[in-house]
Amino acid sequence: MKKYIPLLFGDTRSIVGVGLRACPKRATTIGSCPYVRMRSLKYSIWVLIMGLMTFFTTPASAALDIEITRGVVRSIPIAIVPFDVNNPNNPNDIARIISNDLNHSGQFQVMPQSRLPQQPHDADAVSADLWKTLGLDDLVIGSATLTDNGQTKADMTLLDLFHSNQSTPTVLMRQSYTVANSQTRALAHHISDIIYEKLTGEKGVFSTRLAYVTVEPLPNNPRHKRYSLMISDVDGHNAKPLLTSTQPIMSPDWSPDGRSVAYVSFETKLPQIFTSDVATGQRRLISSFAGINGAPSFSPDSRSLAVALSMGRTNPNIYIIDLGSGRLTQLTDDAAINTEPSWAPDGQSLLFTSDRGGAPQIYSIDLAGRQVHRVTYLGAYNASAMYLPGSSTKISLLHRDDRGFNIAIYDLQSGTMQTLTQGGYIESPSPAPNGRMIVYSTNVGGRRMLGMVSSNGQVNIRLPEVSGDAQAPAWSPY
């Protein structure tokens, strides 16, 4: 994911990129860089010119605002009534957070609060006929009150208007929660998850997190930059730095249990691979070999990291590091640039990017027999491949076609390539744990920002920085 491989030649540092209702209630849900210019001369390297620009440009801020740039045609019409709130200590608007979550998923069309004909807080006060005339299928009502011990008690009811044959709506779900005031935003995301799952039959991802890198000038020396590895809610709120450095930070990758993040750090002026515990910040140095140490990727059982190492040579090869013993296993050994390893769901093989055919393409290697075979043939450039969660036959990748560099889905069985985005300076695709959305980094108006696209290309969301750059995103597991 988002792999950038640093190369060191004498005193010259180059950033080398690597090509670089248990069932749905109704069938209205979505169906299931140019950042590098590659030279294929002998002993050549892939120079990430635009990647350097992303690390040494505009100031950044950790907070993200969401803008829907393209929406899905078919979606579930729903209304989220503002909760009846009696808690002056809680600044979070639970109903608005739920509305934003569902709207940004692309699978729901949330009615604006300004169009609500009434604001009931009890199911008995809801007239199903009234709401159905507005074309709505579902309605969410609730309340949030302050308890005697200073916590927030929230009640939520999900009502089915679609199947109501009378004026009284059907109660699909009724939940009550008591949380600390500081946890009401997390609670709102949780409620969004259960609503999403109830109405689509799939798990929601609103309680997951993003890891990404921000770049901003130092306050007293704007010519130098501060790099921060940020962890945030999936909507960009609650962003906190896991690591801050005056040297580049690259290629974050989540462990499958969501407890730690692996990444590349230049804090010693040389590339090293670390892991950090997300809860405690405790760090562990994993790899500090001569030359390239890059592109870390956790194995499905969290016991190993697949990495790209050059071991002092001019080109990187694929290795596996056992995190328990430190044992190093080399998988590829040739003169090609081999990088961006990514595990198959069963942990028995790896995808990786290589220029062994003259241009960056996706290859696969099985760990038992070390047999390598080429995966992609469509287009002159394919890189940054990852299996879509829940699938062993579809991969997301960065694909170059006549429209430029885009996020695409490649079907391993049919051999078809579906382009999802519409051109631009795009990199670092990372799929959501339910496989429905893919987060990526893009350049809009000279600023690096994060975007999300649905895995069928029908929904595109932009998460612009308030100011500055956000890049190299990685979507956490559940």
Q: Is pLDDT above 80 for 101? A: yes
Half-sphere CA count of 457, side-chain side, radius 13 A: 13
Q: Examine the domain organization and report whether 121 and 235 are in the same domain.
A: no
The pTM of this model reads 0.85
Q: Examine the domain organization and report whether 315 and 379 are in the same domain.
A: yes
Q: Examine the domain organization and report whether 91 and 139 are in the same domain.
A: yes
pLDDT digits over 19-77, tens only?
333 334 443 333 333 222 232 322 233 333 223 233 333 333 334 445 555 555 568 99
Q: Examine the domain organization and report whether 219 and 326 are in the same domain.
A: yes
pLDDT digits over 283-296, tens only?
999 999 999 999 99
Q: Examine the domain organization and report whether 275 and 400 are in the same domain.
A: yes
Average pLDDT over residues 395-405: 90
Distance CA(440)–CA(289), nearest Å, equals: 29
Q: Is pLDDT above 90 for 158? A: yes
CB-based contact 215:60 (threshold 8 Å): yes
User: What local confidence, expressed as pLDDT, does residue 106 receive?
Assistant: 82
User: Residue 67's CB: how many other CB atoms inside 10 A?
Assistant: 13
Q: Examine the domain organization and report whether 437 and 329 are in the same domain.
A: yes
pLDDT digits over 128-150, tens only?
889 999 999 999 999 999 998 98
Residue type, 92: N
User: Residue 462's CB: how many other CB atoms inside 10 A?
Assistant: 18
Q: Is pLDDT above 80 for 183? A: yes
Q: Which of 3, 53, 110 is nearest to 383 (CA)?
A: 3
For residue 96, which phi and psi values (nearest 5 degrees)?
A: -70, -40
pLDDT digits over 339-366, tens only?
999 999 999 999 999 999 999 999 999 9
Question: Last residue of some domain: 200, 228, 255?
Answer: 200
Q: Examine the domain organization and report whether 273 and 377 are in the same domain.
A: yes
Across 37-46, 189-198, 202-211, 453-462, least confident range: 37-46
Q: Examine the domain organization and report whether 233 and 340 are in the same domain.
A: yes
Average pLDDT over residues 325-341: 97
User: What local confidence, expressed as pLDDT, does residue 319 receive?
Assistant: 98
Q: Examine the domain organization and report whether 10 and 56 are in the same domain.
A: yes
User: What local confidence, expressed as pLDDT, does residue 8 receive?
Assistant: 28
CB-based contact 34:48 (threshold 8 Å): no
Question: Last residue of some domain: 169, 200, 231?
Answer: 200
Three-state secondary structure readout of the chain: CCCEEEEEECCEEEEEECCCCCCCCCCCCCCCCCCCECCCCCCCCCECHHHHHHHCCCCCCCCECCEEEECCCCCEEEEECCCEEECCCCCCCHHHHHHHHHHHCCCEEECCHHHCCCCCCCHHHCCHHHHHCCCCCEEEEEEEEECCCCCEEEEEEEEECCCCCCCCCEEEEEEEEEECHHHHHHHHHHHHHHHHHHHHCCCCCCCCEEEEEEEEEECCEEEEEEEEEEEEECCCCCCEEEEEECCCEEEEEECCCCCEEEEEECCCCCCEEEEEECCCCCEEEEECCCCCEEEEEECCCCCEEEEEECCCCCCCEEEEEECCCCCEEECCCCCCCEEEEEECCCCCEEEEEECCCCCCEEEEEECCCCCEEECCCCCCCEEEEEECCCCCCEEEEEEEECCEEEEEEEECCCCCEEECCCCCEEEEEEECCCCCEEEEEEEECCEEEEEEEECCCCCEEEECECCCEEEEEEECCC
Can you give the CATH number for the domain in which 320 is found?
2.120.10.30
Can you give the CATH number for the domain in which 95 is found?
3.40.50.10070
Q: Which domain holds residue 188?
A: 70-200
Residue type, 142: G
User: What local confidence, expressed as pLDDT, does residue 74 receive?
Assistant: 66
User: What local confidence, expressed as pLDDT, does residue 120 receive?
Assistant: 93
Per-residue pLDDT band for 86 (boundaries 50, 70, 90) equals confident
Q: Examine the domain organization and report whether 337 and 365 are in the same domain.
A: yes
User: Residue 112's CB: how many other CB atoms inside 10 A?
Assistant: 9
When the pLDDT of each residue in the chain is averaged and rounded to a whole number, the result is 85
pLDDT digits over 212-235, tens only?
999 999 988 888 999 999 999 999
User: What local confidence, expressed as pLDDT, does residue 69 receive?
Assistant: 53
User: What local confidence, expressed as pLDDT, does residue 465 receive?
Assistant: 65
CB-based contact 139:145 (threshold 8 Å): no
What percent of the chain is predicted at pLDDT more than 90? Answer: 69
Residue type, 433: P
User: What local confidence, expressed as pLDDT, does residue 68 receive?
Assistant: 55
CB-based contact 66:462 (threshold 8 Å): yes
Per-residue pLDDT band for 463 (boundaries 50, 70, 90) equals confident
Question: Last residue of some domain: 155, 176, 200?
Answer: 200
Q: Examine the domain organization and report whether 235 and 130 are in the same domain.
A: no
List the structure tokens of 50.
């635009």
User: What local confidence, expressed as pLDDT, does residue 47 receive?
Assistant: 30
User: What local confidence, expressed as pLDDT, does residue 219 receive?
Assistant: 87
Q: Examine the domain organization and report whether 54 and 162 are in the same domain.
A: no
Find the helix packing angle between 94-104 and 184-200, rounded to 10°: 40
User: What local confidence, expressed as pLDDT, does residue 468 receive?
Assistant: 65
Number of domains in the chain: 2
CB-based contact 215:226 (threshold 8 Å): yes
Per-residue pLDDT band for 441 (boundaries 50, 70, 90) equals very high
Top pLDDT among 63 and 157 is at 157
Cα angle: 302, vertex 437, 65; to 5 degrees: 105
pLDDT digits over 241-256, tens only?
999 999 999 999 999 9
Top pLDDT among 7 and 232 is at 232
